[in-house]
Amino acid sequence: MKNFLWLLFHPSYWMMNCDYSKEWDEWLNAAMKKEKFRIIDSGCHARICGAPIWIKNHPYDSFTAFIKTTQLWDNRFTVTEVRPSRITIRNAMRKLEEEKKNNYGCDSGINSN
């Protein structure tokens, strides 16, 4: 109920660009408990547990990931962008901002490789 009320009074979280993925939401929550974010690509992406995550366009398109799936009939990949829950997006941004404040993982020389 508390989360519902929070979302009700924060209209910027009402519209989202990507589809919700329960698997991505659970994975990101578990990763945030284990590791810190590492800023890459001039601040547009971060890595956590090795996964690159889009962190700009907050909140409607942040903390999204690209998931590859294979089409069996021609062996080509399709790519889908997915997002965690709105509450996870809020919690992830709070964690990222706290880590930025403490200057963790914000080296400009970090690259995505």
pLDDT band for position 95 (cuts 50, 70, 90): very high
Q: What is the domain partition of the chain in residue ranges?
A: 2-101
Q: What is the pLDDT of residue 112?
A: 38
Q: What is the pLDDT of residues 28-84, one digit of tens each?
A: 999 999 999 998 877 888 999 988 899 988 888 899 988 776 666 666 677 788 999
* β-strand partners of 81: 66
Residue 91 to residues 39, 78, 109: CA-CA distances in angstroms? 17, 29, 26
Q: DSSP assignment, residue 103?
A: T
Beginning with the edge strand found earlier in the chain, give each strand of the sheet holding 51-54 in spatial order. 38-40, 45-48, 51-54
Q: What is the DSSP string of 25-73?
A: HHHHHHHHHH---EEEGGGTEEEETTEEEE--STTTT-SBEEEEEEETT
